[in-house]
Amino acid sequence: MNLRKHLIEYSFIALYFGFMIYFFQNLGDSFYSKIIFSAALPVFYLLWSIVHHYFEDRLTVPIFLEYLSISLFVFIILLTASTI
């Protein structure tokens, strides 16, 4: 695993996720807030992956699809969990 090489970037993602989770703990009960909560993590992750792999010169369709599928998977889990 490439943990050491990208430690700063991973710390940035983890910090963002931590901040978002803390921020959305007290979010209201409206449908829009649920959508925002469910999308905040996966959308950021997908954008991060595009930027990161673009600058690493590794942005290919399979890699993009890998991140897209994981982001979609996470979005659906969070949305169904918060609306159930």
Contacting positions for another protein (CB under 8 A): 1-3, 6, 9-10, 13-14, 17-18, 21, 24-26, 28-29, 37, 41-42, 45, 48-49, 52-53, 58, 60, 62-63, 65-70, 72-74, 76-78, 80-82, 84
**Which of the 8 DSSP states describes residue 29?**
S
Select 25 or 55, whichever has its Cβ closest to another protein.
25
Min dist CB 26 to another protein, Å, is 5
CB of 82 to another protein, least distance (A): 5
Return the amino acid letter for 37. F
- How far is it, in rounded angstroms, from Cα 70 to Cα 14? 16
Shortest approach of another protein to residue 46 CB, angstroms?
10
The label of the residue with tokens 């595009």 reads 50
Q: Which long-range contacts (CB under 8 A, 24 or more apart) does 7-15 make?
A: 9/48, 9/52, 13/44, 13/45, 13/48
